[in-house]
Chains A and B, each alone.
Chain A
Amino acid sequence: MDQGLVLSVRRHGESSAVVTLLTAHHGRHAGLVRGGQSRRLRGVLQPGNQVTATWRARLEEHLGSFVLELDRSLAAPLLPFADRLAALGSLCALVDTGLPERENHPALFENTAAMITALDSEDDSWRPYYVQWELDFLRELGFGLDLSRCVATGGIDDLVYVSPKSGGAVSAAAGVPYRDRLLPLPGFLIGHGTPSDADILEGLALTGHFIDKHVYAAYDRSLPAPRDRLVQILRR
Chain B
Amino acid sequence: MTEIERLIRLLARMPGLGPRSARRATLHLIKKRETLLEPLARALTDAAQNIRTCRVCGNVDTNDPCGICTDPKRDSTLLCVVEDVADLWALNRADIYTGLFHVLGGTLSALDGIGPEDLNISQLIERAQADAVTEVILAMNMTVDGQTTAHYISERLASADLRITQLAHGVPVGGELDYLDDGTLSAALRARHE
- Which A residues are closer than 8 A to B by beta carbons? 8, 10, 14, 42-44, 46-48, 70, 72-73, 75-77, 79-80, 82, 85-86, 88-89, 93, 96, 224-226, 233, 236
Closest chain B CB from A232 CB (angstroms): 9
In the complex, the answer to whether A70 meets B181 with C-beta atoms within 8 Å is yes
Interface size on B, as a range, is 20 to 34
CB of A88 to closest CB in B, whole Å: 7
The smallest beta-carbon distance between A107 and chain B, in angstroms, is 25
Convert B104-119 into 0s and 1s, putting 1 for each residue whose CB lies closer than 8 angstroms to a CB of A: 0000001110010000
> Within 8 Å of chain A (Cβ to Cβ): is B33?
no
- Beta-carbon contact of A76 and B111 below 8 Å: no
Which chain B residues border A48 with CB–CB below 8 Å? 144
Q: Mind listing 22 A-B residue pairs with CB under 8 Å?
A: A8-B111, A10-B111, A10-B112, A14-B16, A43-B181, A46-B143, A48-B144, A70-B182, A72-B182, A73-B181, A73-B183, A76-B181, A76-B182, A79-B144, A79-B187, A82-B154, A82-B155, A85-B148, A88-B144, A224-B110, A225-B110, A233-B155
Query: Would you give the shortest CB distance from B169 to chain A, in whole angstroms?
Result: 8
Which among A44, A47, A72, A88 has the highest number of chain B CB atoms within 10 Å?
A: A47
Contact of B144 among A44, A85, A225 (CB under 8 A): A85
Secondary structure dominating the interface of A: mixed
Contact indicator B184/A225 (Cβ below 8 Å): no
B142 lies within 8 A of chain A by Cβ:
yes
Which of B's residues lie within 8 Å of A, judged by CB? 15-16, 110-112, 115, 142-144, 147-148, 151, 154-155, 181-184, 186-187, 190
